């Protein structure tokens, strides 16, 4: 079983959409073209929006995104988003 405990966000809050899901993503030709509905916009942990990869991307793609974050020196962000 994978350990789901993640390191807490210990940096200043940043703007996050807060409601990224398929109904709020505008896709054109298979490419993200925009994001709508900023009613849940808030300051917080950027992993909140990163976790939307599980809902927005095809099977297997979220794992590749989290691997890229970890490889770019952002393993804690990937972990908090549920990717590690």
Task: Quick: pLDDT tens for 11-49.
Answer: 899 999 999 999 999 989 888 899 999 999 999 998 899
DSSP β-bridge partners for residue 32: 27
Q: What is the model's pLDDT at position 4?
A: 53
Domain boundaries, the chain: 14-80
Side-chain half-sphere CA neighbours of 67 within 13 A: 5
Between CA 61 and CA 31, with CA 49 as vertex, the angle to 5 degrees is: 50
Residue identified by tokens 């849940």 is 40
Q: 17 φ, ψ to 5°?
A: -65, -45
Q: Residue 26 pairs with which residues in a beta bridge?
A: 34
């Amino acid at each position: 079983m994978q350990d789901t405990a993640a390191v807490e966000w210990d940096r200043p809050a940043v703007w996050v959409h807060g409601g990224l899901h398929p109904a709020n993503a505008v896709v054109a030709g298979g490419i993200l073209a925009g994001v709508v509905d900023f009613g849940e916009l808030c300051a917080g942990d950027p992993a909140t929006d990163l976790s939307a990869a599980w809902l927005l991307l095809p099977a297997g793609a979220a794992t590749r995104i989290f691997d890229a974050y970890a490889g770019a020196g952002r393993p804690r962000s990937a972990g908090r988003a549920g990717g590690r």
